[in-house]
């Protein structure tokens, strides 16, 4: 089975935002809870100080979001490989990955982990190095076939049913 892909900055941004969202939400909930508890247990002067701290927190949060956007943009634009059209060929024995400037083959036994979410297949070669394959380039039959190959290879995987 052969799949042609091309990751856009929009795809890359959405992927990173969705993966960062749980951390962001937990951070906001913790800070909001602490500020809320202090606000209701404080006198008038302290309440004004907490309002000021809340405004600074919002400004800090906006700064982090804007900084993250530009950092992701820099990471994406500096990595020319991720921007190339990449052709993946999945066989029972190996994964062939061919871009405009590279050609890599590796066997399924070299795969550390495969994760599938709603929009991506993530094939990890190690704990931190992965191939990001957008599912929008797959037909439903190809998704089924890839899941079958992965399951037959007894690879550590978190697949959708």
Give residue-wise pLDDT tens across range 67-122. Answer: 889 999 999 999 999 899 999 999 999 999 999 999 999 899 899 999 999 999 99
- What's the pLDDT score for residue 41? 63
CB 119 within 8 A of CB 134: yes
| Domain ranges, ordered by start, for the chain | 8-80, 81-158
Specify burial of residue 8 (Cβ count, 10 A radius: 0-12, 13-18, 19+): exposed
Higher pLDDT, 45 or 149: 149
Task: Copy the structure tokens of residue 160.
Answer: 């959708």
The whole-angstrom separation of Cα 14 and Cα 19 is 8
So what's the architecture of 81-158 in CATH?
Roll (2.30)
pLDDT tens-digit series, residues 49-62: 666 777 777 788 88
pLDDT in tens, 130-151: 899 999 999 999 999 999 999 8
């Amino acid at each position: 089975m052969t799949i042609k892909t091309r990751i856009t900055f929009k795809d890359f941004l959405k992927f990173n935002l969705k993966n960062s969202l749980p951390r962001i939400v937990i951070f906001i909930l913790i800070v909001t809870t602490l500020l809320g508890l202090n606000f209701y247990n404080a006198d008038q002067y302290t309440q004004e100080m907490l309002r000021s701290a809340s405004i600074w927190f919002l400004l800090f949060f906006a700064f982090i979001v804007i900084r993250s956007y530009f950092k992701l943009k820099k990471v994406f634009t500096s990595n020319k490989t991720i921007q190339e059209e990449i052709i993946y060929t999945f066989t029972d024995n190996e994964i062939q990955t061919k871009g405009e400037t590279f050609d890599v083959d590796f066997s399924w036994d070299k795969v550390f982990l495969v994760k599938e979410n709603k929009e991506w297949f993530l094939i990890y070669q190690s704990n931190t190095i992965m191939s990001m394959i957008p599912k929008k380039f797959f037909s439903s039959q190809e998704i089924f076939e890839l899941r079958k190959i992965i399951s037959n290879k007894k690879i550590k995987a978190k697949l959708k049913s």
